[in-house]
Structure 1
Amino acid sequence: MRPGQGLLPLEKAPLVCSLLLQAPPGEFAQVVQDLRALVHDEELLRREAARVGAWHSKNHFPPVQINEHTVLVTRYNDLGGNRFFDPQDKLSFAFYHLSGVASEYRLHDVLLDEGELQRGALHKGLKEYVSCHFPTGNCCVFRKNARKTQIFVACIEAHQYQPSGCWNGLWKSDWTLALTPVTTQVTGIFLLQMHYFNGANLHVTVSKSVSEPLNVTDQSQLSIDFVKLVKAEDTKLHMAILENMQALSEDIWGKNLRRKLPITRTFINWNRLLNEQPL
C-alpha cells in the first residue's frame, strides 16, 4: 500500500491542510508537489492548495512585478476573488497563488484627494529607506477609510530563498497609522522566518509587536518621522536577534557540545568552527 492510500478523504483533508499551513515562505509549491506523491488525491490536493495558498500568500507578502515596479500581495489590498490592488498604477490584477503569477490587469478607480497624496508621500519615503537598507526588499503603502479617519498600512518584505543552498528566509513587517489630529498611534508587527534543511530540519520564527506615538504636522514631516520610527524599530529587532543568535551559538558550541566531545588532550579552535558555520 502506498503512503496515504489507507486514509479516507475526510481524514486526509485536515492532514493536508495542516501540512500546507506549515509550509515555510518560498516553499509552498514544493510542499504541494511533495504532498501529491503522498496523498494520491489530486482533487482534494487542488482544493486545499487553492484555499490555503491564498492565506499563505497574503500572510507572507510575495512581491509581483507590474510595469517595472513591485506590488506586494497582502490582505490589505485584497479585492476578493483572487484579485488585488496596485496602489501605484491604480490597477487591479489576478494573482495565482501556486505559481505566483499576476495577470488580467484592469483599471481601478481611486479618488485623487489629500489622503491619496499622503499615501504617496509615505510610500516614497519608505521606498527610499527600504532600497538603502534591504538589498532585496520591497514595500507598499495602502490606504483604507474608516468613516472620517484616514488609515494607512505600510508593508515591508525582504527575502532570500536559496533552496539550492538548503535554506530560505523572510523578514516582513506591517505598520498601521490611523491619522488623528496632533498625534497618531503607529502599530507595527514583525515576522521573521528561517528554514534550514541541510542534514537537518531547523525552523526559526521570530515575531514582535510595537506601538509608538507619532506627531502629525504636515505630509512631508509625517513621512520623515514615520521612516525614522520604522528604522529605529528595525534596528532594535535586528540587534536583539544578533545578540540572541550569538548567545545561542556560544551555548551550543562552547558549552553543551564541548562537554560531549571525547577527551583527546588537544586544543580545538572554537572560533574557527563558529566562523565556518553557514549563514
Structure 2
Amino acid sequence: MATNEEKIKIASGFIKAAPPGEINDVFNDVRALVDDDELFTGSIMNAVEEYNTEELATVTVTGEDGKTFEVLVSKHGQIENDRFLDPKRNQTFKLDHLRQTVSDIEPHTVDEDIEELRKVIEAHAEEYVADRYAEGVSAIYGSNGVITVAIVHNRYSPSNYWNGRWRSVWTLDTATNAVKGALKCKVHYYEDGNVQLETSKDVEDKLSKFSTEPHKVIAKAFVDLIAAAELKYQTALNESYRDLADDTFNGLRRALPYTRTKVDWNKILTYRIGAELSAK
C-alpha cells in the first residue's frame, strides 16, 4: 500500500499535468482515487496553487463600478501564497485557488522608479495582445528594474473534444537591456483517444534601444521583439506538425489498412479474420 508521501507525489503529479480547462475534472478524479480529504486540504492543494501560477490562470474581478474584467494569476505577481497583484489597477486580491474566486481587494504601492516605463509597455503590449490573440489576457509587472510581460490565451472547445493554451512570459532587464522569453503551448485532443501536445521554447536576446531613449521607443522595440519571436515560433510549430502528419506518422503506420477502409469492430465477425477466430 502506498504511503501518504507517495500518494501526495502521485496525486500532485496528476494535478500539475492537467490539460487546459480540465483542472477541476482532474482534481475531482484524483480526489476520489486518494479518498482522503485531509491530504487534499494540505499538501495536495499546494499542487493546485502551483498549477494556477504556472499555467497563468485567469480570474474574474469585479470593479467598484460593477464591471468585471479578467486578471492573470502569475508567480511574477504573487505577493503571498493566496494574494496576487493586478498591476494595471495597482491593487492586490486574495485568491481561492480551488474555486478561483477573488476577495479582499486592497490598493498596492507601485515601484515609482519603473512605473512610468511599465505603463507605456503595458499600453503597447495590450494593443499587441488584442491584435494577435482573440481571447488573450496579459499582465505587465515592474519591480527592481525588471519589466515582465505575461500573456495567456485559452481556447476551450469540449463539445469538439479539444482544449488548448498558449503562454508566454518575457522579461526586460532595464539595466542591461537583456530580454528573456519562455513560450509554451499545450493542447489536449480526446475524441476517440487521448492525444496531448506540450511544447516550449526559450528565447534570449538584447534590446537595441537603451534606457536613455524615450519610454515609447523602448516599449515599441520590446513589444516588436516579442511579436517577431512569437510569430517565428508559431510558424515553426505549424511547419513541423504539418511535416509530422504528412511524413513522420505515415512512416510509423498506415492511416488505413490494405483494404483502404476502417475496421468496423461491431461487425468484426463479417471479416475473414473474425470468421477464423470464431471457428477456433
- What's the TM-score once normalised by structure 1's chain length? 0.84
Matched, 1:197 2:223: no
Structure 1 residues 166 and 232, CA gap change in structure 2 (3 angstroms): same
**1:259 Cα shift?**
7.7
Q: 1:107 to 1:259 in 2, by over 3 A?
A: closer
Larger Rg: 2
Aligned match of 2:51: 56
State how 1:1-279 maps to structure 2 within 5 Å: 7-66=2-61, 67=63, 68-111=68-111, 113-145=112-144, 150-180=145-175, 184-214=177-207, 215-216=209-210, 217-251=213-247, 254-258=250-254, 261-263=257-259
Decide whether the 8 Å contact of 1:49 with 1:98 is kept in 2.
no
SS of residue paired to 2:177: strand
* Whole-angstrom distance in 2 between the partners of 1:226 and 1:169: 26
Say if 1:63 and 1:72, in contact at 8 Å, map to a contact too.
yes
- Asked if 2 retains the 8 angstrom alpha-carbon contact of 1:28 and 1:98, the reply is no
For structure 2, the residue ranges without an aligned partner over 5 or more in a row are 262-280
After TM superposition, give the deviation of residue 13 of structure 1 in Å: 2.1
Q: Confirm or deny: 8 A CA contact 1:36 1:42 kept in the other structure.
A: yes
CA contact (8 A) 1:16 1:48 kept: no
Deviation at 1:73, TM superposition (A): 0.5
Alpha-carbon RMSD: 2.0
Q: CA 1:64/1:13 → structure 2, altered by over 3 Å: closer, same or farther?
A: closer
Q: Secondary structure at the residue paired with 1:44?
A: helix
CA distance in 2, matches of 1:188, 1:259: 38
Partner AA of 1:130 in structure 2: V
Cα displacement string for residues 20-55 of structure 1 (whole angstroms, at most 9, x for unaligned residues)? 222223222111111122221111123234211111
Residues 86, 201 of structure 1: alpha-carbon distance in 2 compared, 3 angstrom cutoff? same
Relative distance call for 1:246 and 1:259 in structure 2 (3 A) is: closer
Task: Give the CA deviation at 1:72.
Answer: 0.9
Q: Secondary structure at the match of 2:124?
A: helix
Contact 1:32 1:49 in 2 (8 A): no
How many residues matched? 253
1:274 matched residue in structure 2: none
The percentage of aligned residue pairs carrying the same residue is 28
Distance 2:42 2:143 in 1: 31
C-alpha distance in 2, partners of 1:79/1:153?
Answer: 15
- Tell me if the contact between 2:58 and 2:71 (Cα under 8 Å) persists in the aligned partners: yes
TM score, norm. by length of structure 2: 0.84
SS in 2 for 1:26: coil
Q: Determine if contact 2:182/2:202 at 8 Å carries over to the other structure.
A: yes
